[in-house]
Structure 1
């Protein structure tokens, strides 16, 4: 039996259970919460479409992951509230950045019980799992995370994902790291870099912050950039002023390193939970 068969079998069972719990996802657009950004997107991110999120560099993987997850959470609002989010992730990403950490996901506003996590050794398995999920209308969103430039992913493969998203009404978010931009059928393409958070009282870490650049938008404006923060309580992005109070009190350092605390915390030992407790993540496979 092929190695990926148990993973796909479990995934199909999980998708069937999700389909029984809810009907088709809401159509239309996904407002991000930033009026200027949503206006450029003609009211928000197109829901029934494929979208690419590139990490500016490998060091920006946590920022790109946090931004992509924020998009998925926005997709899960309103009529899609409470629906599962499928996350297909290549094992090599775990080896490079550590496994997903349920408490960290919770800090961003994701209930780990809503997450269907699929891990595959090869990128081909990740893409197959993502394609399976993209055809399931009961999901809130599908997040696909291969490493690098997998050979199975080309323009034809991206078209399949795009058509699946159009048919189901479920947004598909392709998270790219260590990969060069290439032709695809994506509706939008983003490049995300880490941005230092604004400290709260007592110098506590502030909200996750990103520099998000819209590189491409089919049939619309492109090459725009925003500085945004993620508001967990509102489950929305907010625009960060170019010159805020902290900028006036202390000159901006162009060589300042991003906040060392990752936006989506990964444990250093690569374990889901250091104490071995059940983290709430549901793994398909």
Structure 2
């Protein structure tokens, strides 16, 4: 810019036009020094409840955690300590069939990968092949009526999902740390990305809906099979994309990530029940490998 002194520094000579310009600029700046009030711009505080986004028509990025701030470092440590104390008797994942949550005979234990000692953090009930067929049957019935909802309604619900993800950031990071061994900073940016997906996809769908020459309709049941390296962002992104386009059921399954996916599902269930949709809307089969 013209006001930047660096652009004049290479050939600057005493009392030249450029010199006089910079001298005047410096004197004017000194006159303002007593009128300027120092302000702190990095004010993020994760210990406070996030403010929900008001304008649902514009996509706004979810901010990552600023760990240079003391209050955020304390918040991060408290989130990790909570999950250090998590034990399998307090974290049991059932098989969900419609509105039913079923405990089965065959189970899988998950050990905390962030620790050197063997601490079981979660126990997952495995679905039988017959139960999987029943889940698919329930999914096909679409008793939630999701495919008939308007884009505005889907946008509202997915933004509510994003708000609750933002509130539970610490729990998702702690869960990822325990189940996959992810560091805090790696988990933090994933929660931001997954939260962004819940807002980005429905807002993006409005551009397609506005096209007069294009029409779309839901495909039906969407399966999301996430990898181990992105246990939050990829499954949430797959789910959000499917829901934003009106697909009525989404399945999550991965033998390594069940506790993380269960945590994600739990908040999705809460949101859809809160907004009046049936729990039947959203399904999960906890493990890639069902009982044989």
- TM-score greater than 0.5 by the shorter chain: no
The alignment's TM-score, normalised by the length of structure 2, stands at: 0.25
The alignment's TM-score, normalised by the length of structure 1, stands at: 0.25
More strand by proportion, 1 or 2? 1
Radius of gyration: which is bigger? 2
Structure number with the bigger relative contact order (C-alpha 8 A, sep ≥ 6) is 1
More helix by proportion, 1 or 2? 2
